[in-house]
Amino acid sequence: MKYLITGGAGYIGSTICSALEDAGHTPVVIDSLITGRREFTRGRIFYQADIADADAVKQIFQDHPDICATIHCAALIVVPESTTMPYEYYSDNVAKSLELFNTLKNLGYGKVVFSSSASIYDVVDGFMVTEAAPLKPNSPYARTKYMMEMILRDFCMAYGMQGIALRYFNPIGADPKMRSGIHVKNPTHVVGKLVDTALGRQDYFEITGTDWPTRDGSGIRDYIHVWDLARAHVNAVVDFDAVFQRAGNPEDRYLVINLGTGKGVTVFELVRAFETVWGKEINKRLAPPRPGDIAGSYANADRAREWLGWEAEESIEQGIATALQWGKERQTILNFD
């Protein structure tokens, strides 16, 4: 079976492509390569184009009318950057998704799995959130994800499309076969920064925020291995109709599912786990929270088990180990200086 992957040359999109291939399916990639990497498209059906380019998207479906569903990953994703570049985030994430959804609707390819984010949740007592938890997107990035969800739901209700929004928690690690991983020279994600500190590419690791109302004062997150995340997407698209049946085929034709391990890990705990895997301590400093930071949350993953037949399998240590392995190879694979 064929599936269209927007942003398929990025970190998560490329890993989803690998998981689809390992399951016997064919990914068709569209990516502008503004942030994606051509190296991640080798050997795959690839179109370098913008998702808002209706003619380019139409051409893909003319060339591949047997595409069964679309996985929409394309987006700008850096929270602190979004606070200083809101125009770019609303333009790239919201406006272009609107055009993509409209093109899919017009072409009659209405099955969409959307890469959403747990950053849209409000902080709740105990920090575990279900899909019914209150929402309070706290950064331009998070607000774009919320808006994209609402647009997709409205399209499903009005135009007969079907959407599954997968709310990611905090992806870590790399493809276990080292086909892809974090694809930027200077990672902004926590484990990427830990890796670069361990490998001497940055002087120290900043623990941003130590006065949160958590068990040790640092932020709490649900760190999910990117390979587990990719497997969840395979389940969602391959069993798309069955997922809706398990969910009771809701009238709005739209589902929301958390993707996380169900375990909350603080930043201090993550650093200790990293140092255990690395085998020695790293340089670290305490710092104030970044713009857009929150105390955090972790997933109630019951719905993913019930509807997707999925649960996380990889440990946080495995995520750290693959991130370290990728970190050592990334400079060469991606031709960084």
Residues 6+ apart with CB under 8 A from 42: none
For residues 36 and 326, what is the distance between their CA atoms, to the nearest angstrom? 17
Mapped onto helix, strand or coil, the DSSP state of residue 295 is coil
- Residue in 299, 313, 132 with CA at minimum distance from that of residue 230: 313
First-to-final CA distance of the chain: 38
- Give the catalytic positions in this structure: 141
Q: How many CA atoms lie within 13 A of 148 on its CB side?
A: 35
Residues 6+ apart with CB under 8 A from 315: 225
For residues 118 and 258, what is the distance between their CA atoms, to the nearest angstrom? 7
Task: Please say whether the beta carbons of 121 and 136 come within 8 A.
Answer: yes
Q: Cα–chain-centroid distance for residue 214?
A: 25
Give the other-Cβ count within 10 Å of 326's Cβ.
23
Q: Could you give the dihedral angle defined by the CA atoms of residues 77, 79, 84 and 85, in that order, rounded to the nearest 10 degrees?
A: 20
Mapped onto helix, strand or coil, the DSSP state of residue 123 is coil
Task: Please say whether the beta carbons of 332 and 185 come within 8 A.
Answer: no
Mapped onto helix, strand or coil, the DSSP state of residue 315 is coil
Q: Could you give the dihedral angle defined by the CA atoms of residues 191, 196, 202 and 205, in that order, rounded to the nearest 10 degrees?
A: 30
- Residue in 73, 126, 135, 81 with CA at minimum distance from that of residue 292: 81
